[in-house]
Homo-oligomer: A and B are copies of this chain.
């Protein structure tokens, strides 16, 4: 049985975990051939529990920016752990990491740390409300800002009141943003914007300069906080924060996934206008000052800068994109590649049910490449030209199969 270990674990999980698995890593809604359980990872290579190896383009849904099990990051973590991780207060790593974030992130005068992306976005919402004394938060239709009740994409387990102060707009639609701000009246606390539009199953879009400036203008005029959710994209597009690309500085930024290369960490950075409010809210967690994850964060950010990780990921992402475009043309398959090259999504034309997309990914999976048909994918700085070329061998065969089945 080619997936017998995975199948046995799924059976055991059904007994002791509701629905067998929760959240975004549940493979129940993607093709059956996808493994649920993994055994090992190194660089951009991933092994499932049945021993199959993959070149990975999900990077654990984002965190592994320098590649799995990065030796430099692990060394820094180990040195810290020999001293200790959590204590009755923080370690010096807290101050060093806050200093490094302030030095690195263009808009940042200060930083705070958490564990989850949802911790970071929730903390931003709290700071915005505390600073302004107002309640309304604008969020884009289809945007994902976390899985806690106020921003959860699903209604289950939430009350209407959890979201009563959210007002929706459409990303990159200035008129809809202005309408939403007008709806908030004089009760506008903050405007959440994703680093770029990376909604599940949708064409990814960079923010237009016009949209970013409109968001900035609305916040300047009302005193509301402009909040960039950089949880997914942070440090993959620009070391100074993703909106540096569009030349607009947010008031607050939520960070998490890639800041410590897989060690659990979240962060909020902010400017001086929101410093006092950030100091008045009570937010905390038992593990938020863990020095090991902070040491990993320090090592990760330093290495990302040193090796120009953004540049590496862009070049490797572009090599993949160019190769797939050529294959699509050669096989007469129409598709759209969108998102920054280092955070791509590949959407086939006339594929509302994503059958072509999942066929393509499943055929690539068979040939040792782990891709996703609807979620943002992620390059890492550990992807080499050889990895991309091996990937393109697999995708060429996958593209041929799409052409064969869908003509």
Contact call B60/A87, Cβ cutoff below 8 A? yes
**In the complex with contacts A95-B13, A129-B157, A68-B84 CB distance below 8 A:** yes
Within 8 A of B (CB), among A77-98: 81-92, 94-95, 98
**Which residue of chain B is the closest to A24 with respect to CB atoms?**
B284
**Bound state CA distance, A247 and B218, in angstroms?**
57
**In the complex with contacts A18-B112, A110-B16, A157-B84 CB distance below 8 A:** no
Minimum distance in angstroms from A262 CB to a CB of chain B = 5
Contact call B9/A95, Cβ cutoff below 8 A? yes
**Which residue of chain B is the closest to A41 with respect to CB atoms?**
B84
**Bound state CA distance, A13 and B68, in angstroms?**
31
CB of A227 closer than 8 Å to a CB of B: no
Inter-chain contacts of A86 with B (CB < 8 A): 60, 63-64, 262
Inter-chain contacts of A98 with B (CB < 8 A): 13, 16-17
Contact call A94/B13, Cβ cutoff below 8 A? yes
Minimum distance in angstroms from A16 CB to a CB of chain B = 4
Contact call A370/B164, Cβ cutoff below 8 A? no
CB of A302 closer than 8 Å to a CB of B: no
Within 8 Å by CB of A282, from B156, B264, B286, lies B156
**Bound state CA distance, A49 and B112, in angstroms?**
21
**Which residue of chain B is the closest to A118 with respect to CB atoms?**
B285
Contact call A39/B91, Cβ cutoff below 8 A? yes
Among the interface residues A17, A99, A277, which one has the most CB atoms of the partner chain B within 10 A? A17
**Which residue of chain B is the closest to A287 with respect to CB atoms?**
B264
A residues contacting the other copy or chain, number (CB 8 A): 109
**Bound state CA distance, A256 and B285, in angstroms?**
10
Within 8 A of B (CB), among A1-27: 9, 12-13, 15-25, 27
Contact call A282/B84, Cβ cutoff below 8 A? no
CB of A270 closer than 8 Å to a CB of B: yes
**Which residue of chain B is the closest to A124 with respect to CB atoms?**
B157
**Which residue of chain B is the closest to A285 with respect to CB atoms?**
B116
**Bound state CA distance, A129 and B64, in angstroms?**
35
Minimum distance in angstroms from A401 CB to a CB of chain B = 22
**Bound state CA distance, A36 and B90, in angstroms?**
7
Contact call A83/B39, Cβ cutoff below 8 A? yes
Contact call B38/A87, Cβ cutoff below 8 A? yes
Contact call B164/A148, Cβ cutoff below 8 A? no
**Bound state CA distance, A357 and B86, in angstroms?**
25
Point out residues on A near B: beta carbons under 8 Å.
9, 12-13, 15-25, 27, 35-42, 46, 49, 56, 58, 60-64, 68-69, 74, 81-92, 94-95, 98-99, 101-102, 109-112, 115-119, 122, 125-127, 129-130, 135, 147-150, 152-154, 156-159, 161-162, 164-165, 231, 256-257, 262-264, 270, 275-290, 293, 370
Given contacts A135-B159, A256-B286, 4 further A-B contacts (CB under 8 A): A38-B90, A69-B84, A126-B156, A147-B283
